[in-house]
Homo-oligomer: A and B are copies of this chain.
Amino acid sequence: MSRLAKEVIEGKIKAAAELIRKVEEESPDVYDDMHYLYPHTGKAYILGITGLPGSGKSTIVNLLIKHYREQGKSVGVVAVDPSSPLTNGAILGDRVRMIEHSTDNKVFIKSIATRGWYGGLSRSAARIINILDAMGKDVIILETVGVGQTEVSIMNFAHTTVLVLVPEMGDYVQTIKAGVLEIGDIFVINKIDKTDPGELLQNMQSLISNRDDLSGGQPNHQIWQQKIILTSAMEQKGFDELIQEINSHREYFLEFKKDKYLKQRAGQELKDEVYSYFVDYFRKSFASKEEFNKVIIDIAQKKADPYEQALKIIESLNIKTKY
């Protein structure tokens, strides 16, 4: 076993940080480490918190960290931040809660930003979850924005997903309608001290009661009943209820959803790994050549087209089977 993998499994923070840094740099060196780590994963509870920027989901994450720490549990946080296309980095920068918990060595917070291409973010998130899991974190909190293809797909890694809304986002819910039900296992309407949640609450309740039968023929007791919880960080309201509901879903997950989840997640991780390997390979070999830049200029000037050029490149890569 590699030195790094061994130390991560022993729970060493420095080793975990080092391996995560390598994952973020998309280093090809991590395969061995990840391979040795993998059998040690699967013990952590993965809790997803999703919501639009401004919904106060970071405050909720902070309260959840406190709760789990009070229970003596160790916590990892993976926060996927909306990134800036110009700076190639995270927009949010340092987070308040990172400072608040920075002296607690049982809390490991990692903020990852979108980069380059699409599957890469999903691969990094899954790898970092596995590192935190293997190092022995009891709970891993996964935080993303509640909209966007990549971001919604990363939420598939969570056992339980909490969607955080605020009363002002009534129009958001009206626009995506029933789709909102598919994003969360539990719904939170946050900041109820600021604006009356009445209208949004009513809309959400009517969506839930009118929802199509998505059970796929499962017996009734195997269907999760989605609930709406009203919270206010300012008035310290609703968080006990939220934690209770999260615990209920965890029990439901373990009994009825885990097997399906594990298979689905294995498929997503394997595909992300294969696609990302190809993209890495292509970027580091072909796309770094002068030849590639010439092709791009030809396409920009309409002397060539991206379709024929893509086929030529694929052919030159000599992949065994053509479909």
Stretch touching chain B among A6-14, A67-75, A222-230, A311-319? A311-319
Give the complex CA separation of A7 and B295 in angstroms: 28
Residue in B85, B169, B170, B314 whose beta carbon sits within 8 Å of that of A277 in the complex: B314
**Which B residues touch A307, using CB under 8 A?**
30-31, 34-35, 38, 273
Which A residues, 282 to 303, have Cβ-Cβ distances below 8 Å to chain B? 282, 284-285, 287, 295-297, 299-302
Q: Is the CB of B118 within 8 A of A296?
A: no
Q: Is the CB of B54 within 8 A of A323?
A: no
**Which B residues touch A277, using CB under 8 A?**
310-311, 314
Give the complex CA separation of A91 and B177 in angstroms: 7
Stretch touching chain B among A98-106, A145-153, A239-247? A145-153
Q: Is the interface of A mostly helix, strand, loop or mixed?
A: helix
Q: Is the CB of B31 within 8 A of A182?
A: no
Give the complex CA separation of A311 and B35 in angstroms: 11
Give the complex CA separation of A307 and B33 in angstroms: 9
Q: Which of A145, A156, A285 has the most CB of B within 10 A?
A: A145
* Contact of A114 with B by CB under 8 A: yes
**Which B residues touch A321, using CB under 8 A?**
281, 285, 317
Q: Separation in Å of the A308 CB from the closest CB of chain B?
A: 5
Q: Separation in Å of the A37 CB from the closest CB of chain B?
A: 8
Q: Separation in Å of the A30 CB from the closest CB of chain B?
A: 8
Q: Separation in Å of the A11 CB from the closest CB of chain B?
A: 19
**Which B residues touch A117, using CB under 8 A?**
118-119, 271, 275
**Which B residues touch A234, using CB under 8 A?**
none
Given A118-B118, A171-B166, A299–B176 Cβ distance below 8 Å? no
**Which B residues touch A34, using CB under 8 A?**
305, 307
Number of interface residues of A (CB under 8 A): 99
* Contact of A193 with B by CB under 8 A: no
Q: Which of A126, A168, A270, A306 has the most CB of B within 10 A?
A: A306
Q: Separation in Å of the A221 CB from the closest CB of chain B?
A: 21
**Which B residues touch A171, using CB under 8 A?**
53-56, 166, 168
* Contact of A175 with B by CB under 8 A: yes
**Which B residues touch A42, using CB under 8 A?**
302
Residue in B53, B121, B274, B295 whose beta carbon sits within 8 Å of that of A313 in the complex: B274
Which A residues, 84 to 111, have Cβ-Cβ distances below 8 Å to chain B? 84-87, 91-92
**Which B residues touch A302, using CB under 8 A?**
38-39, 41-42
* Contact of A160 with B by CB under 8 A: no
Q: Is the CB of B275 within 8 A of A279?
A: yes
* Contact of A3 with B by CB under 8 A: no
Q: Separation in Å of the A24 CB from the closest CB of chain B?
A: 15
Give the complex CA separation of A270 and B310 in angstroms: 6
* Contact of A205 with B by CB under 8 A: no
* Contact of A83 with B by CB under 8 A: yes
Q: Is the CB of B296 within 8 A of A270?
A: yes
* Contact of A208 with B by CB under 8 A: no
* Contact of A238 with B by CB under 8 A: no
* A30-71 vs B, Cβ < 8 Å mask (1 yes, 0 no): 110011001101100000000011111000000000000000
